[in-house]
Structure 1
Amino acid sequence: MNNLYIPRSGISLDRRGFLGLSALGLSAAALSACGGGPSTSGGKAAGKVEQIDFSGVKPAKEITFWTSNPGDSIKVSTELVNAFNASQTDIKVKLVTAGADYEEIAQKFQTAQTGGDLPDLINLSDVWWFRYKMNDQIIPLDSLFETLEFETDDFVDSLLGDYLYDDAHWAVPWARSTPLFYYNKDHWKKAGLPDHGPETWEEFDEWKAKLAAKGGAKFAFQFPALAGYAGWTLQNNLWGWGGGWSKEESFDISCNSKESVEALSFLKDWVYKDKVAGVAGVDQIQDFAAGVASTTVGSTGDLITAITSAKFDVGVAPLPAGPAETDKICPTGGSGVGIPKDISPERQLAAGTFLKFLTEPEQAIKFSEATGYVPVRKSADPAAILKKTPQAQVAIDQLPNTRSQDYARVFLPGGDLEMANHMASILTENKDVQAEMDSLKTALDKIYTDQVKPLI
């Protein structure tokens, strides 16, 4: 997401200039309609970002860290909090499970804006953090970086860069992920397939019949649960065919393009024509680990769960390419950590102190080793991770082939839900792909027209 293109307005902005819009009469409240979240109201006029001056500020003695425990990370997060508390006596961190998922923690954070019981740090998903920034609810972190001497150059550039707007960083990468291709090695062997993932989806299309006939599972492939996953993982398939939910770096909706329809029709045939694929009702990794499907697509954050839950040897591969595109066909994902605005500088400084500790190479490796999320620091030695979980090398190697997510999913409120609903119609109700994608385009254009365009 290097540029924001606003159709019919003649405005094209890079991420550093995105917020400098006050001269155009554009408010942060208006732009907050571009992000997901329980509300698109509130916020102040966009303008030059003011960094907080922490000179002379003494850190608070106690702070809270809200997390939704992504990747079943409660145990390792507790260990890291305890390690920080034991390493010094100035600041005590309390870990709070503030929701079962990103949506629940977002709702609780919204409630806290008026209730006054704000955390000092909060776990922010790839979709939700931008809304908090637009509504003026989190602080720019760069002055904290300077005050506390963060080694920002050591963060993986693309991961830290995801939070850069108007020359300011609004979060720090933490539980970051990409989708991976998971396969059952026992089923692969029974089907006479080579012990590696397919390079392209067309290659898997040739393999699926062998898996269905000899692999031993109910399905050769299991689509992820569509709610929350369809809009994310299917970006890979759409990009591989030269399509997308929207055209790259724009709000020009392209989900009903020839390329996008071809990509989705290709997948639909697995379910209804070839009858070798199913759709997970709740959790595709649980289904995969139970042997229901020979392969699926899931987050790197599911890696440890998949390996420990399965009673077979789990294979992991990068996402397959398409017939049109082979580079930059894997979306980024996961979450970072930000600091609320409406707390005292003393609490913000203490939060920054813990945030620095939390993302240092040693802690980054411990977190990745326990969860399967990718290490966020360049200098983090993955030897311990790879010794315990060699499959993690795939996620690390795939990082250079990632692409920032589709605007239609990230910035249109309710866009991800519309994608999930229309994909459910296609993959679980056998609806016509072109008709559903035409309908989706209408829905996404309406979101833009009704909730974004009138305010810019």
Structure 2
Amino acid sequence: MTPAMDRRGFLRLASAVGLTAAVAACGGPATTSGAAPAATTTEIDYSGVKPAAQITWWSSNPGSSQAVSQQIVDAFHAAQPDIKVTLVTAGKDYEEIAQKFQTAQTGGTLPDLIVLSDVWWFRYYMLGSIVPLDSLIRTVGIETPDYRDQLLADYQYAGGQWAIPWARSTPLFYYNKAHWAAAGLPDRTPTTWTEFAEWAPRLQASGTGVQHAFQLPALAGYAGWTFQNNLWGWGGGWSKDWDVTSDSAESVAAMQFLQDSVYKNGWAGVSSKDSSNDLSAGAVSATVASTGNLVGILKAATFDVGAGPLPGGPVVTSPVCPTGGAGLGIPKDIPKENQLAAATFLKFLTSPENTVAFADATGYLPVRKSADISGLVTKTPQSKVAIDQLEVTRVQDRARVFFPGGDQEMAKTCANILTQQADPQAELTALKKTLTGIYDQDVKPNL
């Protein structure tokens, strides 16, 4: 890991009241005037509380996980018939769940367990909308030391645990092994992007009929996340500590490389929707996509799929990979009986056996240290890549994670560079001005 301050470090410095306005500038639930005070980690007494007989779980079914999630729910019913769990598809993505959850705060029906994106959970803390899980963890016996440390820590603040990791991922480099063979390439992912730039013309000329050797991921959902890999590899980044560095020579060089791959050299395209589908269809030879896409790619592809760690750059080769995904939290404004029942199910849902079942069905990372991954790795060898890569992940740039609306601004800038052929230096300089404005107005006053 880099020595830069991580998310917890930022939050420890932030003013709880002031940051409420800052996070409101992001899409999703508002945290402006009228918000409840931030939750505290005061001990909650669940002694004598009987778990509710029925609870609801709101999910967006990340990684097409509805079927396996329902299977786990059914297994829970068999093990604990006194609690019925209803799985509700509350949105197609994290943003839709966030909007629905926010609406429920003002008079709707709240869920008892909810999916919390890694970059959304803190606003729920600010609103006082989620309960600290520490008392529930002790009451139902959730063994937190057995969860992967770096994933569990993503949901810690003010001495409390606010969510439990569940659908967690890293980006992976996926490739078509048949195309690799046709081009005479070694059966592995490139070590660096420079190496892949040397391979790409061979893939283009190998007679496979592909549109492009590589497909850049859809910018709206992935640019700010996955392109950190490229920026870091060139020695740049969206930011360094609190300083915006999107216009640095290193960052510009990284984006110039990506633009040249599309326009000057012509071996890369930009996905309009989902680059993993483009790969599975055989239209491109390689792409970068989430670990959560692994099972979907393997099911859809009619060829052998290779997967490996993200390439490094000409300056930095490791660590150059971020993490992502979601955890699970429990609303504050529901009865203790419902909170206790939700925690009971949460313990079952993220058990070592079920985290392997979930990983097997989706490609997400097993979140428990004691999980027996031998069968998973035997069945899907590619899954071990993500598990191994977890040890060399890097803390995300603050400008993406902490600057309200920063991710959206990055996506707009990347779209201009990669689909409109705009000048990288000019675009990244303009992005720095925008991000610096966000920092000065919404972040700096709260440090």
TM-score w.r.t. structure 1 length? 0.93
Gaps of 5+ in 1: 7-11
From the superposition, tell whether residues 158 and 220 of structure 1 become closer, same or farther in structure 2 (CA, over 3 Å).
same
Instruction: Return the letter of the residue paired with 2:128.
Output: D
- Tell me which moved more, 226-235 or 237-246: 237-246
Structure 2 match to 1:263: 254
Tell me whether 1:228 sits opposite 2:225 in the alignment: no
* 2:423 counterpart residue number: 432
The answer for the alignment partner of 2:98 in structure 1 is 106
The answer on 1:333 being equivalent to 2:324 is: yes
Q: CA deviation at 1:133?
A: 1.5
The 1-side partners of 2:115 and 2:252 are apart by 35
Distance 2:45 2:312 in 1: 47
d(CA) in 1 for partners of 2:300 and 2:284? 14
Does structure 1 conserve the Cα–Cα contact (< 8 Å) formed by 2:130 and 2:332?
A: yes
In structure 2, C-alpha distance between the alignment counterparts of 1:31 and 1:53, rounded to whole Å: 33
User: Matched residue of 1:403: which SS?
Assistant: coil
Asked if the contact 1:29–1:45 (Cα under 8 Å) also holds between the matched residues in 2, the reply is no
The residue type equivalent to 2:254 in the other structure is A
Amino acid at match of 1:211: L
Q: Contact 1:28–1:45 at 8 Å: present in 2 too?
A: no
Q: Which moved more, 1:49-58 or 1:269-278?
A: 49-58
Give ranges in structure 2 of 5+ residues lacking alignment.
Answer: none
Indicate conservation of the 8 Å contact 1:412/1:447, yes or no: yes
> How many pairs were matched up?
445
1:383 to 374, 378, 382: 374
Give the CA deviation at 1:389: 1.1
Are the equivalent residues in 2 in contact too, given 1:77–1:367 (CA < 8 A)? Answer: yes
One-letter identity of the residue aligned with 1:437: L
How well do the aligned residues superpose, as a CA RMSD in angstroms?
2.2
- Structure 2: how far apart are the matches of 1:121 and 1:345? 13
2:168 corresponds to: 176
Q: More displaced, 418-427 or 402-411?
A: 402-411
**Is 1:80 matched up with 2:79?**
no
Q: CA deviation at 1:235?
A: 0.7
Give, in whole Å, the separation in 2 of the partners of 1:140 and 1:452. Answer: 25
In structure 2, what residue type is equivalent to 1:297? V
Deviations 1:56-80 (A, max 9, x none): 2221111000000000000000000
1:83-98 aligned within 5 A: 83-98=75-90
Out of 11, 17, 40, the position equivalent to 2:12 is: 17
Return 383-392 or 150-159, whichever deviates more.
383-392
Asked whether 1:240 is paired with 2:233, we answer yes
Show the 5 A alignment for 1:56-455. 56-214=48-206, 216=208, 217-247=210-240, 250-454=241-445
| Partner Cα distance (2:315, 2:177) in 1 | 28
CA displacement, residues 331-374 of structure 1 (integer Å, 9 cap, x when unaligned): 00011101111111111111100000000101100000000001
Alpha carbons of 1:305 and 1:262: their partners in 2 closer, same or farther (altered >3 Å)? same
Check the 8 A contact 1:187/1:294 in 2, yes or no.
yes
**Secondary structure of 1:336's match?**
strand
Separation (CA, whole Å) in 2 of partners of 1:414 and 1:28: 14
Alpha-carbon distance, 1:149 to partner: 1.4
Question: Is the Cα contact below 8 Å between 1:170 and 1:338 reproduced in 2?
Answer: yes
Offset of residue 221 of structure 1: 0.6
Which amino acid is 1:14 matched to?
G
Whether the aligned pair in 2 keeps the contact of 1:15 and 1:166 (CA below 8 Å) is no
User: Whole-Å Cα distance in 2 between the matches of residues 418 and 45 of structure 1?
Assistant: 29
State the alpha-carbon separation in 2 of the partners of residues 205 and 382 from structure 1: 34
Indicate yes or no: 2:47 matched with 1:55.
Answer: yes
Quote the offset at 1:164 in angstroms: 1.1
User: Hey, what's the Cα distance between the residues in 1 that align with 2:47 and 2:290?
Assistant: 41
Closer, same or farther: CA 2–312 of 1 in aligned 2, 3 Å: closer
Q: Is the 8 A contact 2:8 2:154 kept in 1?
A: no
Contact 1:36 1:411 in 2 (8 A): no
Contact kept in structure 2, 1:303 and 1:372, CA below 8 Å: yes
Q: How far has the Cα of 1:404 moved from its partner?
A: 2.5
Change (3 A) 1:432 1:126: same
SS of equivalent residue, structure 1 residue 357: helix
SS at match of 1:235: helix
Once the two structures are TM-superposed, the CA of residue 128 in structure 1 deviates from its matched residue by 1.3
**Does the CA-based 8 Å contact 1:4-1:15 persist in structure 2?**
no
**C-alpha distance 82-2 of structure 1, shift in aligned 2 (>3 A):** farther
The answer to whether the Cα contact below 8 Å between 1:256 and 1:441 also exists between their aligned partners in 2 is: yes
CA contact (8 A) 1:35 1:411 kept: no
* Other-structure match for 1:9: none
Q: Distance in 2 between matches of 1:455 and 1:365?
A: 41
Instruction: Describe the SS at the equivalent of 1:202.
Output: helix
Contact 1:44 1:136 (8 Å CA) reproduced: yes
Distance 1:151 1:47, change over 3 A: closer
